A and B are shown apart, each in its own frame.
Chain A
Amino acid sequence: MNDTKLVMQARGLVKRYGQVTALDGADFELRAGEILAVIGDNGAGKSSLIKALSGATVPDEGEILLDGRPVQFRTPMDARRAGIECCYQDLAVAPAMTIAENLFLGRELRRPGPAGSLLRMLDKKKMLEIAVQRMADLKVGIRSMTQAVETLSGGQRQCVAVARAAAFAEHVVILDEPTAALGVKEGNMVLELIRRVRDKGLPVILISHNMPHVFEIADRIHVARLGRRAAILDPKKISMSDTVAVMTGALPPEQIPAECLAH
Protein backbone atom coordinates (compact mmCIF):
# COMPACT_ATOMS: atom_id res chain seq x y z
CA MET A 1 0.00 0.00 0.00
CA ASN A 2 1.20 3.42 -0.86
CA ASP A 3 1.63 5.43 2.29
CA THR A 4 1.44 8.87 0.72
CA LYS A 5 -0.56 11.17 2.94
CA LEU A 6 -4.32 11.12 2.32
CA VAL A 7 -5.55 14.66 2.02
CA MET A 8 -9.20 13.78 1.68
CA GLN A 9 -11.16 10.62 2.31
CA ALA A 10 -14.79 9.58 2.19
CA ARG A 11 -16.33 6.31 3.38
CA GLY A 12 -19.76 4.88 2.72
CA LEU A 13 -21.41 8.03 1.36
CA VAL A 14 -25.13 7.61 0.76
CA LYS A 15 -27.39 10.20 -0.85
CA ARG A 16 -30.98 9.65 -1.85
CA TYR A 17 -33.25 11.95 -3.79
CA GLY A 18 -36.71 10.51 -3.20
CA GLN A 19 -36.78 7.11 -4.92
CA VAL A 20 -33.44 7.62 -6.63
CA THR A 21 -30.26 6.59 -4.83
CA ALA A 22 -27.51 8.77 -6.25
CA LEU A 23 -24.75 7.59 -3.89
CA ASP A 24 -24.89 4.02 -2.65
CA GLY A 25 -22.03 3.67 -0.20
CA ALA A 26 -19.37 5.50 -2.20
CA ASP A 27 -15.74 5.60 -1.06
CA PHE A 28 -13.16 8.16 -2.03
CA GLU A 29 -9.44 8.90 -1.46
CA LEU A 30 -7.35 11.82 -2.55
CA ARG A 31 -3.59 11.74 -2.02
CA ALA A 32 -1.30 14.71 -1.48
CA GLY A 33 0.27 16.16 -4.60
CA GLU A 34 -1.81 14.18 -7.11
CA ILE A 35 -4.26 14.87 -9.90
CA LEU A 36 -7.17 12.47 -9.39
CA ALA A 37 -9.58 12.21 -12.29
CA VAL A 38 -13.15 11.22 -11.46
CA ILE A 39 -14.94 9.68 -14.40
CA GLY A 40 -18.24 7.93 -14.81
CA ASP A 41 -21.22 7.68 -17.05
CA ASN A 42 -24.23 9.92 -16.56
CA GLY A 43 -26.10 8.88 -13.44
CA ALA A 44 -23.06 7.04 -12.08
CA GLY A 45 -22.97 9.33 -9.08
CA LYS A 46 -19.89 11.39 -9.87
CA SER A 47 -21.64 14.78 -9.63
CA SER A 48 -23.31 13.73 -6.39
CA LEU A 49 -19.94 12.65 -5.04
CA ILE A 50 -18.36 15.98 -5.97
CA LYS A 51 -21.28 17.91 -4.51
CA ALA A 52 -20.89 16.06 -1.23
CA LEU A 53 -17.16 16.76 -1.15
CA SER A 54 -17.60 20.46 -1.96
CA GLY A 55 -20.45 21.04 0.43
CA ALA A 56 -23.08 21.64 -2.20
CA THR A 57 -25.12 18.76 -0.78
CA VAL A 58 -25.16 17.02 2.59
CA PRO A 59 -24.91 13.19 2.40
CA ASP A 60 -27.51 11.14 4.23
CA GLU A 61 -24.95 8.64 5.53
CA GLY A 62 -21.21 8.20 5.58
CA GLU A 63 -18.30 10.35 6.62
CA ILE A 64 -15.80 12.69 5.03
CA LEU A 65 -12.29 13.16 6.41
CA LEU A 66 -9.99 16.03 5.66
CA ASP A 67 -6.37 15.48 6.67
CA GLY A 68 -7.56 12.55 8.75
CA ARG A 69 -10.12 14.60 10.70
CA PRO A 70 -13.86 14.14 10.15
CA VAL A 71 -15.60 17.18 8.69
CA GLN A 72 -19.20 18.19 8.06
CA PHE A 73 -20.01 20.59 5.25
CA ARG A 74 -23.48 22.09 5.36
CA THR A 75 -22.86 24.70 2.69
CA PRO A 76 -20.26 25.34 0.00
CA MET A 77 -18.96 28.13 2.24
CA ASP A 78 -18.11 25.56 4.93
CA ALA A 79 -16.02 23.62 2.42
CA ARG A 80 -14.38 26.81 1.26
CA ARG A 81 -13.46 27.76 4.76
CA ALA A 82 -11.89 24.33 5.18
CA GLY A 83 -9.70 25.11 2.20
CA ILE A 84 -11.55 23.32 -0.60
CA GLU A 85 -12.14 25.38 -3.75
CA CYS A 86 -14.41 24.47 -6.60
CA CYS A 87 -14.22 25.62 -10.18
CA TYR A 88 -17.62 25.07 -11.76
CA GLN A 89 -18.45 24.11 -15.27
CA ASP A 90 -20.07 27.44 -16.08
CA LEU A 91 -17.06 29.29 -14.67
CA ALA A 92 -18.96 31.54 -12.28
CA VAL A 93 -17.38 34.75 -13.54
CA ALA A 94 -19.01 38.13 -14.06
CA PRO A 95 -18.08 38.87 -17.69
CA ALA A 96 -18.33 42.65 -17.48
CA MET A 97 -15.98 42.86 -14.49
CA THR A 98 -12.18 42.74 -14.62
CA ILE A 99 -10.02 39.70 -14.00
CA ALA A 100 -8.78 41.13 -10.72
CA GLU A 101 -12.35 41.84 -9.58
CA ASN A 102 -13.47 38.36 -10.52
CA LEU A 103 -10.56 36.81 -8.69
CA PHE A 104 -11.62 38.49 -5.49
CA LEU A 105 -15.39 38.25 -6.01
CA GLY A 106 -16.94 37.50 -2.68
CA ARG A 107 -13.64 37.87 -0.82
CA GLU A 108 -12.80 41.47 -1.52
CA LEU A 109 -9.99 43.15 0.43
CA ARG A 110 -10.66 46.37 2.24
CA ARG A 111 -8.27 49.21 2.73
CA PRO A 112 -6.48 49.44 6.04
CA GLY A 113 -7.54 51.98 8.60
CA PRO A 114 -10.73 54.07 8.67
CA ALA A 115 -11.03 54.15 4.88
CA GLY A 116 -11.59 50.43 5.04
CA SER A 117 -13.53 50.02 8.27
CA LEU A 118 -15.66 53.20 8.21
CA LEU A 119 -16.07 53.93 4.54
CA ARG A 120 -15.64 50.28 3.61
CA MET A 121 -13.47 51.17 0.66
CA LEU A 122 -11.88 48.39 -1.35
CA ASP A 123 -8.12 48.09 -1.63
CA LYS A 124 -8.13 47.86 -5.39
CA LYS A 125 -4.39 48.37 -5.69
CA LYS A 126 -3.57 45.46 -3.41
CA MET A 127 -6.08 43.17 -5.06
CA LEU A 128 -4.57 43.97 -8.43
CA GLU A 129 -1.06 43.27 -7.15
CA ILE A 130 -2.06 39.93 -5.73
CA ALA A 131 -3.92 39.02 -8.88
CA VAL A 132 -0.88 39.77 -11.02
CA GLN A 133 1.30 37.78 -8.65
CA ARG A 134 -0.90 34.69 -8.50
CA MET A 135 -1.36 34.63 -12.24
CA ALA A 136 2.39 34.99 -12.75
CA ASP A 137 3.01 32.14 -10.30
CA LEU A 138 0.81 29.92 -12.35
CA LYS A 139 2.35 31.26 -15.54
CA VAL A 140 -1.00 32.34 -16.95
CA GLY A 141 -0.08 34.49 -19.91
CA ILE A 142 -2.67 37.27 -19.76
CA ARG A 143 -1.26 40.75 -20.07
CA SER A 144 -3.55 42.92 -18.03
CA MET A 145 -5.55 42.03 -14.95
CA THR A 146 -7.71 45.10 -15.49
CA GLN A 147 -9.31 43.91 -18.69
CA ALA A 148 -12.86 42.63 -18.58
CA VAL A 149 -13.24 38.87 -18.51
CA GLU A 150 -15.54 38.98 -21.52
CA THR A 151 -12.63 40.20 -23.67
CA LEU A 152 -10.79 36.93 -23.07
CA SER A 153 -10.95 33.81 -25.20
CA GLY A 154 -12.68 30.72 -23.84
CA GLY A 155 -9.43 29.11 -22.84
CA GLN A 156 -8.17 32.24 -21.11
CA ARG A 157 -11.40 32.53 -19.19
CA GLN A 158 -11.11 28.95 -18.10
CA CYS A 159 -7.57 29.68 -16.91
CA VAL A 160 -8.82 32.62 -14.89
CA ALA A 161 -11.46 30.43 -13.26
CA VAL A 162 -8.96 27.66 -12.50
CA ALA A 163 -6.40 30.16 -11.23
CA ARG A 164 -9.01 31.69 -8.95
CA ALA A 165 -9.71 28.32 -7.38
CA ALA A 166 -6.00 27.59 -7.05
CA ALA A 167 -5.24 31.04 -5.66
CA PHE A 168 -7.48 30.61 -2.67
CA ALA A 169 -7.47 26.89 -2.06
CA GLU A 170 -5.43 25.71 0.86
CA HIS A 171 -6.10 22.00 0.62
CA VAL A 172 -7.98 20.82 -2.43
CA VAL A 173 -8.94 22.14 -5.84
CA ILE A 174 -11.96 20.59 -7.57
CA LEU A 175 -12.32 21.21 -11.32
CA ASP A 176 -15.58 20.34 -13.08
CA GLU A 177 -15.09 19.71 -16.82
CA PRO A 178 -12.39 22.37 -17.20
CA THR A 179 -11.59 21.59 -20.84
CA ALA A 180 -15.13 21.12 -22.10
CA ALA A 181 -15.97 23.33 -25.08
CA LEU A 182 -12.32 24.26 -25.65
CA GLY A 183 -10.31 23.75 -28.79
CA VAL A 184 -7.11 21.72 -28.86
CA LYS A 185 -4.67 24.55 -28.23
CA GLU A 186 -6.75 26.17 -25.51
CA GLY A 187 -7.45 22.82 -23.89
CA ASN A 188 -3.72 22.16 -23.66
CA MET A 189 -3.20 25.59 -22.14
CA VAL A 190 -5.61 24.67 -19.36
CA LEU A 191 -4.03 21.25 -18.83
CA GLU A 192 -0.62 22.92 -18.44
CA LEU A 193 -2.11 25.19 -15.82
CA ILE A 194 -3.62 22.25 -13.94
CA ARG A 195 -0.21 20.58 -13.83
CA ARG A 196 1.32 23.73 -12.43
CA VAL A 197 -1.35 23.84 -9.73
CA ARG A 198 -0.46 20.30 -8.73
CA ASP A 199 3.23 21.11 -8.82
CA LYS A 200 2.68 23.91 -6.38
CA GLY A 201 1.49 21.34 -3.88
CA LEU A 202 -2.30 21.46 -4.27
CA PRO A 203 -4.01 18.15 -5.01
CA VAL A 204 -6.58 18.40 -7.81
CA ILE A 205 -9.84 16.49 -8.27
CA LEU A 206 -10.66 16.60 -11.97
CA ILE A 207 -14.07 15.62 -13.34
CA SER A 208 -13.98 15.04 -17.05
CA HIS A 209 -15.54 13.20 -19.96
CA ASN A 210 -12.51 13.86 -22.10
CA MET A 211 -10.54 10.61 -21.99
CA PRO A 212 -7.43 11.83 -23.84
CA HIS A 213 -7.11 14.75 -21.40
CA VAL A 214 -7.68 12.49 -18.43
CA PHE A 215 -4.99 10.15 -19.59
CA GLU A 216 -2.65 13.03 -20.22
CA ILE A 217 -2.60 14.58 -16.78
CA ALA A 218 -4.23 12.27 -14.23
CA ASP A 219 -2.06 10.42 -11.73
CA ARG A 220 -4.92 8.11 -10.82
CA ILE A 221 -8.43 7.60 -12.17
CA HIS A 222 -11.45 7.10 -9.90
CA VAL A 223 -14.24 5.32 -11.76
CA ALA A 224 -17.76 5.94 -10.44
CA ARG A 225 -20.47 3.46 -11.32
CA LEU A 226 -23.96 2.88 -9.91
CA GLY A 227 -23.39 5.24 -6.99
CA ARG A 228 -20.18 3.60 -5.81
CA ARG A 229 -16.52 3.53 -6.64
CA ALA A 230 -15.97 0.81 -9.20
CA ALA A 231 -12.19 1.00 -9.24
CA ILE A 232 -9.10 3.20 -9.04
CA LEU A 233 -7.04 2.83 -12.19
CA ASP A 234 -3.47 3.65 -13.17
CA PRO A 235 -3.57 5.53 -16.47
CA LYS A 236 -0.03 4.49 -17.23
CA LYS A 237 -0.93 0.82 -17.10
CA ILE A 238 -4.48 0.51 -18.40
CA SER A 239 -5.72 1.33 -21.87
CA MET A 240 -8.31 3.98 -22.64
CA SER A 241 -10.74 1.48 -24.08
CA ASP A 242 -10.49 -0.75 -21.03
CA THR A 243 -11.13 2.26 -18.85
CA VAL A 244 -14.28 3.06 -20.78
CA ALA A 245 -15.29 -0.58 -20.39
CA VAL A 246 -14.93 -0.35 -16.63
CA MET A 247 -17.01 2.82 -16.72
CA THR A 248 -19.84 1.22 -18.65
CA GLY A 249 -19.70 -2.04 -16.78
CA ALA A 250 -18.57 -4.09 -19.75
CA LEU A 251 -15.44 -4.91 -17.79
CA PRO A 252 -16.40 -5.83 -14.22
CA PRO A 253 -13.96 -4.63 -11.53
CA GLU A 254 -13.01 -8.22 -10.49
CA GLN A 255 -11.71 -8.86 -13.96
CA ILE A 256 -9.35 -5.89 -14.07
CA PRO A 257 -5.72 -7.09 -14.20
CA ALA A 258 -3.97 -6.29 -10.93
CA GLU A 259 -1.28 -4.11 -12.48
CA CYS A 260 -3.88 -1.72 -13.89
CA LEU A 261 -5.18 -0.86 -10.47
CA ALA A 262 -3.61 2.06 -8.71
CA HIS A 263 -3.12 1.95 -4.98
Chain B
Amino acid sequence: MKLPPIGQLGPFIALLIACAIFGATTERFLTGENFSLILQQVMVVGVIAIGQTLIILTAGIDLSCGMVMALGSIVMTKFAADLGLPAPLAILAGIGVTALFGLANGLLVTRIKLPPFIVTLGTLNIAFAITQLYSNAQTVTEVPAMMTWLGNTFSLAGTNVAYGTVLMIALYLGTWFWLRETAAGRHVYAVGNNPEATRLVGIPTDRVLLGVYVLAGVFYGIASLLAVSRTGVGDPNAGQTENLDAITAVVLGGTSLFGGRGVILGTLIGAVVVGVLRNGLTLMGVSSVYQVLITGILVILAVAIDQLSRKGGR
Protein backbone atom coordinates (compact mmCIF):
# COMPACT_ATOMS: atom_id res chain seq x y z
CA MET B 1 0.00 0.00 0.00
CA LYS B 2 1.37 3.40 -0.91
CA LEU B 3 2.20 5.69 1.98
CA PRO B 4 0.04 8.80 1.85
CA PRO B 5 1.83 12.02 0.94
CA ILE B 6 3.33 14.22 3.63
CA GLY B 7 0.40 16.61 3.42
CA GLN B 8 -1.89 13.89 4.68
CA LEU B 9 0.46 12.48 7.29
CA GLY B 10 1.03 15.92 8.78
CA PRO B 11 -2.01 16.10 11.06
CA PHE B 12 -1.35 12.62 12.35
CA ILE B 13 2.25 13.52 13.15
CA ALA B 14 1.11 16.69 14.91
CA LEU B 15 -1.28 14.60 17.00
CA LEU B 16 1.47 12.15 17.94
CA ILE B 17 3.83 14.95 18.95
CA ALA B 18 1.16 16.66 21.05
CA CYS B 19 0.27 13.40 22.78
CA ALA B 20 3.94 12.66 23.43
CA ILE B 21 4.53 16.05 25.02
CA PHE B 22 1.43 15.95 27.19
CA GLY B 23 2.04 12.35 28.14
CA ALA B 24 5.52 13.21 29.31
CA THR B 25 4.61 16.32 31.28
CA THR B 26 1.33 15.37 32.96
CA GLU B 27 0.16 12.37 34.89
CA ARG B 28 -3.31 11.59 33.67
CA PHE B 29 -3.09 12.42 29.99
CA LEU B 30 -2.21 9.01 28.61
CA THR B 31 -5.15 7.12 30.08
CA GLY B 32 -8.08 5.47 28.34
CA GLU B 33 -10.39 7.51 30.54
CA ASN B 34 -8.86 10.76 29.37
CA PHE B 35 -8.95 9.84 25.69
CA SER B 36 -12.55 8.74 25.93
CA LEU B 37 -13.26 12.13 27.47
CA ILE B 38 -11.50 14.01 24.68
CA LEU B 39 -13.49 12.10 22.07
CA GLN B 40 -16.71 13.07 23.85
CA GLN B 41 -15.61 16.68 23.95
CA VAL B 42 -14.97 16.79 20.20
CA MET B 43 -17.85 14.65 19.00
CA VAL B 44 -20.21 17.54 18.23
CA VAL B 45 -17.64 19.53 16.25
CA GLY B 46 -16.40 16.25 14.82
CA VAL B 47 -19.71 15.37 13.20
CA ILE B 48 -20.34 18.93 12.04
CA ALA B 49 -16.91 18.78 10.42
CA ILE B 50 -17.92 15.76 8.32
CA GLY B 51 -20.51 17.91 6.57
CA GLN B 52 -18.10 20.80 6.36
CA THR B 53 -15.46 18.54 4.77
CA LEU B 54 -17.87 17.48 2.04
CA ILE B 55 -18.72 21.09 1.27
CA ILE B 56 -15.09 22.22 1.29
CA LEU B 57 -14.21 19.31 -1.03
CA THR B 58 -16.50 20.93 -3.59
CA ALA B 59 -14.55 24.18 -3.15
CA GLY B 60 -17.39 25.65 -1.12
CA ILE B 61 -17.62 26.62 2.53
CA ASP B 62 -20.39 26.66 5.12
CA LEU B 63 -20.30 29.42 7.71
CA SER B 64 -23.71 28.54 9.08
CA CYS B 65 -22.98 25.02 10.34
CA GLY B 66 -22.81 25.78 14.07
CA MET B 67 -25.94 27.91 14.11
CA VAL B 68 -27.90 25.35 12.11
CA MET B 69 -26.79 22.74 14.63
CA ALA B 70 -28.09 24.91 17.48
CA LEU B 71 -31.39 25.35 15.68
CA GLY B 72 -31.64 21.59 15.29
CA SER B 73 -31.20 20.99 19.00
CA ILE B 74 -33.76 23.65 19.90
CA VAL B 75 -36.28 22.22 17.42
CA MET B 76 -35.94 18.67 18.63
CA THR B 77 -36.05 19.52 22.33
CA LYS B 78 -38.92 21.97 22.03
CA PHE B 79 -40.95 19.66 19.80
CA ALA B 80 -40.66 17.04 22.51
CA ALA B 81 -41.20 19.39 25.43
CA ASP B 82 -43.82 21.82 24.06
CA LEU B 83 -45.61 19.84 21.35
CA GLY B 84 -45.33 16.54 23.18
CA LEU B 85 -43.98 14.70 20.16
CA PRO B 86 -42.48 11.30 20.94
CA ALA B 87 -38.71 11.50 21.05
CA PRO B 88 -37.93 9.69 17.77
CA LEU B 89 -40.26 11.99 15.83
CA ALA B 90 -38.85 15.07 17.51
CA ILE B 91 -35.32 13.97 16.65
CA LEU B 92 -36.33 13.43 13.03
CA ALA B 93 -37.96 16.86 13.01
CA GLY B 94 -34.74 18.45 14.22
CA ILE B 95 -32.68 16.69 11.59
CA GLY B 96 -35.33 17.56 9.01
CA VAL B 97 -34.97 21.26 9.81
CA THR B 98 -31.18 21.19 9.53
CA ALA B 99 -31.42 19.26 6.26
CA LEU B 100 -33.84 21.92 5.02
CA PHE B 101 -31.26 24.61 5.74
CA GLY B 102 -28.75 22.52 3.83
CA LEU B 103 -31.21 22.38 0.95
CA ALA B 104 -31.67 26.15 1.07
CA ASN B 105 -27.92 26.71 1.01
CA GLY B 106 -27.56 24.25 -1.85
CA LEU B 107 -30.34 25.79 -3.93
CA LEU B 108 -28.96 29.29 -3.50
CA VAL B 109 -25.54 28.07 -4.58
CA THR B 110 -26.66 25.99 -7.55
CA ARG B 111 -29.76 27.77 -8.86
CA ILE B 112 -29.08 31.40 -8.06
CA LYS B 113 -25.34 30.83 -8.45
CA LEU B 114 -24.38 32.79 -5.34
CA PRO B 115 -20.95 32.15 -3.78
CA PRO B 116 -21.20 29.73 -0.83
CA PHE B 117 -19.40 32.18 1.48
CA ILE B 118 -22.10 34.81 0.97
CA VAL B 119 -25.00 32.38 1.07
CA THR B 120 -23.96 30.72 4.29
CA LEU B 121 -23.13 34.06 5.87
CA GLY B 122 -26.77 34.92 5.32
CA THR B 123 -28.21 31.61 6.52
CA LEU B 124 -25.90 31.83 9.56
CA ASN B 125 -27.75 34.94 10.70
CA ILE B 126 -31.17 33.59 9.75
CA ALA B 127 -30.59 30.34 11.65
CA PHE B 128 -29.37 32.25 14.70
CA ALA B 129 -32.34 34.59 14.69
CA ILE B 130 -34.86 31.77 14.29
CA THR B 131 -33.19 29.84 17.12
CA GLN B 132 -33.33 32.82 19.47
CA LEU B 133 -36.90 33.72 18.56
CA TYR B 134 -38.29 30.20 18.74
CA SER B 135 -36.56 29.39 22.01
CA ASN B 136 -37.19 32.86 23.42
CA ALA B 137 -33.51 32.77 24.36
CA GLN B 138 -34.30 30.12 26.96
CA THR B 139 -32.58 26.83 27.48
CA VAL B 140 -34.87 23.81 27.14
CA THR B 141 -34.32 21.64 30.16
CA GLU B 142 -37.09 19.05 29.89
CA VAL B 143 -35.46 16.58 27.56
CA PRO B 144 -36.66 13.00 27.01
CA ALA B 145 -34.25 10.23 27.96
CA MET B 146 -33.91 8.97 24.41
CA MET B 147 -32.34 12.21 23.32
CA THR B 148 -29.59 11.95 25.90
CA TRP B 149 -28.91 8.28 25.35
CA LEU B 150 -25.94 8.95 23.08
CA GLY B 151 -24.25 10.62 26.05
CA ASN B 152 -24.43 7.43 28.09
CA THR B 153 -21.41 5.23 28.35
CA PHE B 154 -20.61 1.56 28.22
CA SER B 155 -17.55 -0.21 29.47
CA LEU B 156 -14.89 -1.21 26.95
CA ALA B 157 -11.68 -2.76 28.24
CA GLY B 158 -12.03 -0.98 31.54
CA THR B 159 -12.79 2.45 30.06
CA ASN B 160 -16.11 4.22 29.81
CA VAL B 161 -16.88 4.92 26.18
CA ALA B 162 -19.81 7.08 25.16
CA TYR B 163 -22.18 5.78 22.49
CA GLY B 164 -21.97 9.14 20.80
CA THR B 165 -18.25 8.78 20.13
CA VAL B 166 -18.85 5.37 18.60
CA LEU B 167 -21.47 6.98 16.36
CA MET B 168 -19.04 9.73 15.38
CA ILE B 169 -16.34 7.22 14.43
CA ALA B 170 -18.85 5.10 12.52
CA LEU B 171 -20.03 8.15 10.57
CA TYR B 172 -16.45 9.04 9.69
CA LEU B 173 -15.70 5.51 8.50
CA GLY B 174 -18.91 5.37 6.49
CA THR B 175 -18.22 8.69 4.82
CA TRP B 176 -14.64 7.67 4.15
CA PHE B 177 -15.86 4.53 2.40
CA TRP B 178 -18.43 6.46 0.39
CA LEU B 179 -15.91 9.05 -0.77
CA ARG B 180 -13.31 6.48 -1.75
CA GLU B 181 -15.23 3.59 -3.19
CA THR B 182 -18.38 4.93 -4.86
CA ALA B 183 -18.89 6.91 -8.02
CA ALA B 184 -21.00 9.50 -6.18
CA GLY B 185 -18.16 10.06 -3.72
CA ARG B 186 -15.56 10.42 -6.48
CA HIS B 187 -17.85 12.90 -8.23
CA VAL B 188 -17.70 15.12 -5.14
CA TYR B 189 -13.92 15.30 -5.56
CA ALA B 190 -14.26 15.86 -9.31
CA VAL B 191 -16.71 18.73 -8.89
CA GLY B 192 -14.35 20.42 -6.46
CA ASN B 193 -11.30 19.81 -8.59
CA ASN B 194 -12.73 20.95 -11.95
CA PRO B 195 -16.47 21.71 -12.08
CA GLU B 196 -16.35 22.52 -15.78
CA ALA B 197 -14.78 19.15 -16.56
CA THR B 198 -17.45 17.27 -14.64
CA ARG B 199 -20.12 19.16 -16.51
CA LEU B 200 -18.53 18.38 -19.86
CA VAL B 201 -18.26 14.66 -19.16
CA GLY B 202 -21.93 14.59 -18.35
CA ILE B 203 -21.94 14.44 -14.55
CA PRO B 204 -24.90 16.45 -13.17
CA THR B 205 -22.73 18.93 -11.30
CA ASP B 206 -25.60 20.86 -9.76
CA ARG B 207 -27.15 17.71 -8.41
CA VAL B 208 -23.87 16.64 -6.84
CA LEU B 209 -23.52 20.06 -5.14
CA LEU B 210 -27.11 20.08 -3.94
CA GLY B 211 -26.70 16.58 -2.56
CA VAL B 212 -23.56 17.60 -0.69
CA TYR B 213 -25.26 20.56 1.00
CA VAL B 214 -28.30 18.53 2.00
CA LEU B 215 -26.11 15.69 3.31
CA ALA B 216 -24.10 18.22 5.31
CA GLY B 217 -27.37 19.49 6.75
CA VAL B 218 -28.20 15.96 7.89
CA PHE B 219 -24.82 15.70 9.61
CA TYR B 220 -25.49 19.00 11.40
CA GLY B 221 -28.75 17.50 12.60
CA ILE B 222 -27.00 14.44 13.98
CA ALA B 223 -24.51 16.77 15.64
CA SER B 224 -27.36 18.66 17.28
CA LEU B 225 -28.60 15.39 18.80
CA LEU B 226 -25.08 14.73 20.05
CA ALA B 227 -25.00 18.22 21.58
CA VAL B 228 -28.27 17.56 23.41
CA SER B 229 -27.00 14.21 24.61
CA ARG B 230 -23.80 15.72 25.93
CA THR B 231 -25.23 18.69 27.84
CA GLY B 232 -28.65 17.25 28.57
CA VAL B 233 -30.42 20.43 27.39
CA GLY B 234 -31.38 22.32 24.25
CA ASP B 235 -29.14 25.37 24.38
CA PRO B 236 -29.98 28.26 22.03
CA ASN B 237 -26.57 29.78 22.61
CA ALA B 238 -24.72 26.69 21.46
CA GLY B 239 -22.85 26.46 18.20
CA GLN B 240 -21.40 29.96 18.14
CA THR B 241 -17.79 28.87 18.02
CA GLU B 242 -18.52 25.62 16.20
CA ASN B 243 -18.73 27.47 12.88
CA LEU B 244 -15.04 28.23 12.82
CA ASP B 245 -14.04 25.19 14.91
CA ALA B 246 -15.41 22.88 12.22
CA ILE B 247 -13.55 24.71 9.47
CA THR B 248 -10.39 24.58 11.61
CA ALA B 249 -10.73 20.82 11.98
CA VAL B 250 -11.12 20.42 8.21
CA VAL B 251 -8.11 22.60 7.42
CA LEU B 252 -5.94 21.00 10.09
CA GLY B 253 -6.88 17.63 8.63
CA GLY B 254 -5.26 18.49 5.33
CA THR B 255 -8.29 19.14 3.13
CA SER B 256 -7.63 21.93 0.65
CA LEU B 257 -9.88 24.99 0.79
CA PHE B 258 -9.63 25.11 -2.99
CA GLY B 259 -11.55 21.86 -3.33
CA GLY B 260 -10.93 18.46 -4.83
CA ARG B 261 -8.30 17.31 -2.36
CA GLY B 262 -8.43 15.86 1.11
CA VAL B 263 -9.03 12.77 3.21
CA ILE B 264 -12.02 12.79 5.56
CA LEU B 265 -10.19 10.87 8.26
CA GLY B 266 -7.78 13.81 8.39
CA THR B 267 -10.66 15.97 9.59
CA LEU B 268 -11.25 13.58 12.49
CA ILE B 269 -7.60 13.91 13.42
CA GLY B 270 -7.86 17.68 13.08
CA ALA B 271 -10.80 17.78 15.47
CA VAL B 272 -9.04 15.49 17.93
CA VAL B 273 -5.87 17.60 17.81
CA VAL B 274 -7.84 20.64 18.96
CA GLY B 275 -9.43 18.65 21.78
CA VAL B 276 -6.06 17.20 22.78
CA LEU B 277 -4.51 20.67 22.94
CA ARG B 278 -7.31 22.00 25.12
CA ASN B 279 -7.25 19.02 27.44
CA GLY B 280 -3.49 18.76 27.66
CA LEU B 281 -2.93 22.44 28.31
CA THR B 282 -5.53 22.44 31.07
CA LEU B 283 -3.82 19.44 32.65
CA MET B 284 -0.53 21.31 32.44
CA GLY B 285 -2.12 24.36 34.04
CA VAL B 286 -1.40 26.53 31.00
CA SER B 287 -3.85 29.27 30.01
CA SER B 288 -6.15 28.45 27.12
CA VAL B 289 -4.85 31.47 25.26
CA TYR B 290 -1.92 29.26 24.28
CA GLN B 291 -4.32 26.70 22.88
CA VAL B 292 -5.67 29.38 20.56
CA LEU B 293 -2.15 30.47 19.65
CA ILE B 294 -0.96 26.94 18.86
CA THR B 295 -4.11 26.16 16.88
CA GLY B 296 -3.53 29.27 14.78
CA ILE B 297 0.06 28.27 14.07
CA LEU B 298 -0.98 24.73 13.15
CA VAL B 299 -3.64 26.00 10.76
CA ILE B 300 -1.10 28.12 8.89
CA LEU B 301 1.34 25.21 8.82
CA ALA B 302 -1.35 22.89 7.49
CA VAL B 303 -2.29 25.21 4.64
CA ALA B 304 1.37 25.96 3.84
CA ILE B 305 2.29 22.28 3.73
CA ASP B 306 -0.69 21.60 1.48
CA GLN B 307 0.40 24.31 -0.93
CA LEU B 308 4.07 23.31 -0.93
CA SER B 309 3.47 19.60 -1.38
CA ARG B 310 1.32 20.30 -4.39
CA LYS B 311 3.88 22.57 -5.99
CA GLY B 312 6.50 19.84 -5.60
CA GLY B 313 4.29 17.45 -7.52
CA ARG B 314 4.15 19.53 -10.67
Contact = CB atoms under 8 A, between A and B. Distances in A.
Complex contact flag A–B (Cβ < 8 Å): yes
A122 interface: yes
A242 B42 CA distance: 73
Interface in A87-112: 88, 90-97, 101, 105-108, 110
B186 A122 contact: yes
Given A121-B181, A122-B182, A95 B193 contact: yes
A151 interface: yes
Which 3 pairs show the lowest CB-CB distances between chains A and B? A106-B201, A92-B197, A94-B193
B202 A92 contact: no
Interface in B61-117: none
Interface of A: prevailing SS: loop
B40 to A, nearest CB: 30
A119 B203 contact: no
A121 B193 CA distance: 21
A120 interface: yes
A95 B196 CA distance: 12
Interface of A: 76-77, 80, 86, 88, 90-97, 101, 105-108, 110, 119-122, 124, 148, 150-151
Given A92-B201, A150-B313, A151-B314, 4 more contacts: A94-B189, A105-B198, A106-B202, A110-B183
A122 B186 CA distance: 10
Contacts of A90: 196-197
Interface of B: 181-184, 186, 189-190, 193-194, 196-198, 200-203, 260-261, 313-314
B194 A93 contact: yes
Nearest to A108: B183
Contacts of A122: 181-183, 186
A94 B190 contact: yes
B83 to A, nearest CB: 37
Given A105-B198, A151-B314, A96 B189 contact: yes
B181 A119 contact: yes
Interface of B: prevailing SS: helix
B193 A97 contact: yes
Contacts of B261: 96
Contact of A105 (B184, B196, B201, B260): B201
Given A95-B193, A101-B186, A76 B260 contact: no
B117 to A, nearest CB: 22
Contact of A96 (B181, B183, B193, B202): B193
Contact of A91 (B182, B197, B202, B313): B197
Contacts of B183: 108, 110, 120, 122
Nearest to B180: A122
A76 B186 contact: no
A150 B202 CA distance: 21
A48 B193 CA distance: 28
Contacts of A108: 183, 186
Contacts of B189: 94, 96-97
21 contacts: A77-B202, A86-B200, A90-B196, A92-B201, A93-B197, A94-B194, A94-B198, A95-B194, A95-B260, A97-B260, A105-B190, A105-B203, A106-B198, A106-B201, A108-B186, A110-B183, A119-B182, A121-B181, A122-B181, A150-B314, A151-B313
Nearest to A109: B183
A132 B69 CA distance: 47
A131 to B, nearest CB: 14
Contacts of A92: 194, 196-197, 200-201
Contacts of B194: 92-95
Contact of B200 (A88, A96, A110, A120): A88
A97 B190 contact: yes
A117 B202 CA distance: 21
Contacts of B203: 105-106
Contacts of A124: 181
Nearest to B199: A92
A206 to B, nearest CB: 18
A120 B184 contact: yes
Nearest to B194: A94
A86 B202 CA distance: 12
Nearest to A75: B202
Contacts of B186: 97, 101, 105, 108, 122
A86 B290 CA distance: 56
A102 B29 CA distance: 46
A124 B194 CA distance: 21
Nearest to B184: A120
A95 B181 CA distance: 19
Contact of B182 (A86, A94, A121): A121
Contacts of B201: 92, 105-107
A104 to B, nearest CB: 9
A157 to B, nearest CB: 12
B270 to A, nearest CB: 20
B1 to A, nearest CB: 12
Contact of B313 (A77, A105, A148): A148
B195 to A, nearest CB: 9
Contacts of B190: 94, 97, 105
A114 to B, nearest CB: 14
A94 B193 CA distance: 6
A88 B182 CA distance: 26
A122 B182 CA distance: 5
